[in-house]
Structures are given as structure tokens and as C-alpha cells.
Structure 1
């Protein structure tokens, strides 16, 4: 015979208030939400709430991730969850989710027994939880407003699933709601930090973003560096923009920018700027010249693979021109008091752009400067001279090189 379900958790309400005080004392430290959720689960179990699953999450302002979350179980501990950004969330798991139900109805909490077949049909997660021994599921959602809001509809949710032979009474549910509000604060604070770091990295690049986070935010503050400079752009891009609709051009730019940028990052290149179809990057390592040449080889290979995929679906294709140079640069903040850019400046930047402009007239996909050749003695056997050329704005003609296809 099934064990009877009683009402209430003995003495839980008072102990939950004490737990809220403990959690609030630690909230100002903004610890990792996963650690915090593990602490909450352990404390709830200790006071007589046999928690079998505690989960929480919220939305992120991120180009590829819709939201982040954490799920604790006794057998696995805390698991971090990442929800990839999708064009639509019409999958059944989300459509029949209690979280979606609360968000769309404007509710703030829901308390669901898992042994109700009617409710399990409406919310399939209840059947899953029942198989894990859960008897009751409590969910709290909160729409963050004011200064802590990150996205337009900034919803954060917290759920508790317990396996006790009792129903949560009103006082205990209120206490769990207060704990949920504390977790919302922790999650939102963490989301704000993740958002800041992510957006700085996405818009500035990892290296520049870290320098900004380390305190380099003063206008005109720049450090001298010696680096290999990469400048690349796409062949026939003007023609493509004339012949294709804007959405098709944008899709093309995204495809090639992602492919080239990924290869640069894989070889240690730091992408600083996108200029239409152009990409400016630097290699600051001691072996930067070798890394840059390896990036050229692999970029041409992956662009060829991209062209095959795009051609199969009837999309326009192109190729990439690359210029490599070596020189002294200033790396830091430039701009106005209200709008700054973290990038590189110097004559070497102008020169690499002038070299790249010769790619079409010389019909060479890769052109290397004399300064780059001097900085790459170990790679000299791969280079073949193109002769001396006058560069606009540069006082003396430059020896230029390309890659010897037979080397």
C-alpha cells in the first residue's frame, strides 16, 4: 500500500528563514552560481527537505547562447547548462514546460505534485521527475527589472523538486520563494559579469578585452608593440554587393569572416577590426611570422572547403587576398571621450593596407612585405620575390614576396 502524503515539512519554515540570512550574508560575494546552488541543496536537505533536483537559470545577452543554467542532483552534483540560441523555440519540451507557462501567463510561482496524471500530461517533466522519486515540484520565476536587467524580457527561474512524503505548506513555500529570490540575485549578478566579458571579447577581441578589464580605459593610453600584421579581404566583393541582395551579402560576409577569424584565432592571431570585407589582425608572439604563414595555408584550405559547401547550395563564392607585414605599432585606446576603439595605429598598418591593394593588380592571393621576410628567416625558403614596388604614401619602393607553390 502506498505511503500516505502528509501536509507540511516539520519545522521547515523557521529554518528556511535562518537559511535566507546565511545566503544573504554570502550574496555580496557573488560566488559562482553553481557552487551556491550546491550549497542551497545541501542546506535544504539538512533541514528536512529531501531535495532530489534543484535547477535555476536565466537569459544571456550573447551572440550564440540563449541562456545559462545549473542543475543539481544528489548523484551528479551541479551541472552547468548552456542553451544555444535558436531562431524559434517551438520544440515540445519548451512548449509544455512549466517555465514557459509561468512566463506567458505572468505567474510567479507554481506548485505541482508529480502523481497527478492530468498535470503530467500538461507538463511532461513531472513524469520524468516522478521516475526519479520526486513527489512535488515547485517553480519560481522572476522578471528582472531596473538596473540589473540585461535583456528586454529578462526572466530568471528557480525550481525545487523534493522526494518527501509530504506537501509543501504555504509557509514553507514562502520561504523557498525567498531563497529563490536570493538565487535570482546571484544568477543575475553572474550573468552581468559574463555579459560584460563576452561582449568585450566579441567586439574588441580576447586580448584587447582583457586589457580593458585590467584597467586600460584611458583615452590615448597605448603601448608600443612589435608584431606581424595581417590584412585580408575578399575577391570581387564590390561586384557581389552589386549583384546580390543585402541579406545574401550579409550571409556571405558572416560565412567568410567566421571561417577566417576562427583560423586566425587557432594560430594565435588577434583579430582587431572588421572593415567591410577586410580583416585586420596581429600576431605578437616570437614565432608570429611562422604562425601567420601557417594561418595563411590553413585559411586558404578552409575557404576552399567553404566554397564547396556554398556552391552546393547555389550561394555565391569568393576567395581571400592576404597581405602580411611586420612593424612597430601603438596598441591601445584611441578616440573621443565618449567613443573609443581599442586597436593598433602606426605607419605599418597603412603599409599593409597598401600592400593588400596590390593583390589584384599583381594577381597574387598572398603578398608579403620585405619587413615580414626579414622577420621570418626560418621561412625564407618558402618566399619568392615579386620585385620592387612603390606604395602610395611610402617614401621608398618596397621588395615584395609571395609564397613559392613548389616550396
Structure 2
């Protein structure tokens, strides 16, 4: 057991400080193999506190080590239901199972797949963390003799050290994932880096895109609650995917509105980010068109949106009370984006942009003339997006 003691020392010191789950799991498996445990495949699963991702993990094989994410939807599939992971988390004790003589009608598909690849024995057990959470891990061997009792004792003896190295990574990943989910990539990174005081802010240049769902009040009056939430989620999904796939960052949902920015890091980025925002708006319209086809088949009314795009200086940071903060962008550029979105219906264009944005993508916009914008002294020249369908 001297090798297990050496492994524990490495895990609680170098491994824990490394913050690298792939390195930790690779060293863990290599050390067990050196100690005589005949490993062929190891999966270290970690549970998330996150509304979008429920778990992540690291898989080791002799060919390499890689990490993965698990969505809530995947947990409802046959890949998890009836698996060893479900068993150990539900029953809270290990599972040792031979992969020989399996029944294709009753045994879980994972056992059958491992057996087809030469697996002979399977062991699933638990990692216990300081916050009381449980996490699963599985071990497969191709040894003709399977795992002996001594092999399983060595695995169990090494698990507390593995927990000590993996727990801080899991806690950090869980916190960062939650921040990204609720704040967006840019704000979450700023908060993680220590921008957490009220009033802390940064002035920067950005393209601001404000999207609003048309007819939302009427929808809430006529539809039941489930239909309203279904419509909002479908609309938000299309807008968020469009913004993020074009390099933007969704900052917040405001009722049925979406506030997004495309940060301009250097002057050379300005034209490109304006162009990306225009492409994101077109992508959102196309995504909404596809969503409406699905809604039509379900006899649900179509959804429509208005989008305003502007570029300029914004203040990016924390506002609020000492006990409750919000990370947002403020400034004239944000106000103009919101107010020109309000003109989309009357001007007959679902996407309106200021001249600074339109000049970056002249082939995508047509001129709509000068218009008075509340809070702006002089009329503003606006441009409508020339829509290009799917």
C-alpha cells in the first residue's frame, strides 16, 4: 500500500494545486496500474449545481484522457437510466459486476458495450465531498481474472485522495458555470476575477443589440402560463444561440427583452463586431422563422421580434444595493439601441441600426431616413436590415 500512500500525497498536494482534472485522473489511473490494479477504462463523474448542465466528468483509457459534460436531457435517456451511475447514487453503496454471461434483454447497454470491447469486470463506487454531495466513478478491466478483492481495496483506499484533488475543481466549475448561466460569459469572467464591488465599472466600446418580443402583452393575456413560458424559451433560445455563435455576449433578459453586446477590444475590431451583430440579428430572424414553423404545426400563433443595434461607449459593471448587485451595461449607446428597437414596427423593418453599424455591413442594410430619438438632440439616420431568409 506504499504506492497508494504516495498517490494520496501527490493528490493532496501537487494534484490539488494543479486544478487540472485530466492531469489528476491520468495520474490517478497510472498510479493504480503501477500498484497492480488492471485498469482498462475509468470514468470519474462529477455532479453540477447548474440548471443547464447536470454533470461533467473525465474518462481515462490507455489511449488518452478527456473530459465531458452531461445535460439534464441526457440524464433522462437510457444511457443513464438503469446504469451503474444511477445505481450507486441512488443506493449509496458500490456495485461490483462481472461482464461475462450478460443478458442482452435485462443488462444495461453500457455493460453490453464494455463486454463487446473485451471488458471482463466492472466496479462502480462513490466519491464523497465535504458539502455532502455524492459523485460516481466506474472502473472496467479486461483482465481475464477480473478485479480481485485486493484491487477493489486499493481503489477504495485511493478515493479519498482523489476526492481531495477533484472537489475544489468541481466546486469552482460549478460556481463558474452558474455565473455564466445567469450573467453571461463576460460578466461571469469579470466577477470570477474579482470585479464584485458595487460601483466597480469599466468603460469600453461595444456594439449593443436589444431584442424585444412583439405582442408579448397580448400573448400573456390570451395564452395559458405553459404556452407563455414555452414561447419565451423558444424565442430566447433562438436569440441567445444567434448572439453567442457570432461572438456576442447575452447580458440579461428583461421581461421579453434581450440585451446583448459585442465587445470591441481594439479599434480594428469595430467594423468586424458591427458586422457580426448584423449577422446575429439575421440569424435570430431565421431561427424565429424555423420556430414559427414548429409552432404552426402545433396550432400556436407565430412570434415576431424587433431588434435595435447601435455602437458606442458603454459603462460595464456592478450597480445595486450593498446586498444585491446586478452586472450590466449602461450608457447612451444602450439607450439608443433600445429606443430604435421601438421604431421597428412603425418603420416596417424588424431590425434597425444606426449608421455606424450599417457602414460596417453596407450590403446588409438599406437607408430608412432621419428619425427623432427620445433623449438624442438631433435626428438619427437609421438603416433597416435587408432580410435574407433560410
Normalised-by-shorter TM-score class? 0.7 to 0.9
The match for 2:173 among 164, 178, 194 is: 194
Q: How does 1:36-55 map to 2 (within 5 A)?
A: 36-55=24-43
**Counterparts of 2:378 and 2:323, CA distance in 1:** 40
**CA-based RMSD:** 3.1
SS at match of 1:29: helix
> Which residue of the partner structure matches residue 267 of structure 2?
none
SS at match of 1:86: helix
> Which residue of the partner structure matches residue 78 of structure 1?
65
Q: Does 1:308 align with 2:308?
A: no
Cα shift at 1:327: 3.1
Kept in 1: contact 2:127–2:159 (CA 8 A) = no
**Counterparts of 1:104 and 1:269, CA distance in 2:** 40
TM-score by length of 1: 0.82
Contiguous gaps of at least 5 residues in structure 2: 265-269
Deviations 1:201-240 (A, max 9, x none): 2222112222222222222111222333221211111111
**Counterparts of 1:316 and 1:379, CA distance in 2:** 33
SS at match of 2:162: helix
Kept in 2: contact 1:97–1:123 (CA 8 A) = yes
Q: Does 1:59 align with 2:47?
A: yes
The match for 1:211 among 172, 175, 190 is: 190
Q: Does 1:267 align with 2:252?
A: no
Kept in 2: contact 1:140–1:180 (CA 8 A) = no
Q: 1:38 to 1:376 in 2, by over 3 A?
A: same
Kept in 2: contact 1:219–1:340 (CA 8 A) = yes
SS at match of 1:326: strand
Cα shift at 1:163: 4.3
SS at match of 2:342: helix
Cα shift at 1:127: 5.2
Tell me whether 312-321 or 355-364 shows the greater mean CA deviation.
Answer: 355-364
Q: Does 1:325 align with 2:307?
A: no
> Which residue of the partner structure matches residue 233 of structure 2?
254
Deviations 1:173-192 (A, max 9, x none): 33321212222333332222
> Which residue of the partner structure matches residue 10 of structure 1?
none
> Which residue of the partner structure matches residue 24 of structure 1?
12
**Counterparts of 1:198 and 1:215, CA distance in 2:** 16
Cα shift at 1:255: 0.8
> Which residue of the partner structure matches residue 403 of structure 1?
384
Cα shift at 1:248: 0.9
TM-score by length of 2: 0.85
Q: Does 1:100 align with 2:86?
A: yes
**Counterparts of 2:117 and 2:322, CA distance in 1:** 57
Tell me whether 225-234 or 240-249 shows the greater mean CA deviation.
Answer: 225-234
**Counterparts of 1:379 and 1:117, CA distance in 2:** 62
How many residue pairs align between the two structures?
Answer: 381
SS at match of 1:49: coil
Q: 1:305 to 1:398 in 2, by over 3 A?
A: same
Q: How does 1:119-130 map to 2 (within 5 A)?
A: 125-126=110-111, 128-130=113-115
Q: How does 1:152-163 map to 2 (within 5 A)?
A: 154-163=133-142
> Which residue of the partner structure matches residue 8 of structure 1?
none
The match for 2:202 among 216, 220, 223 is: 223
Contiguous gaps of at least 5 residues in structure 1: 1-12
> Which residue of the partner structure matches residue 350 of structure 1?
335
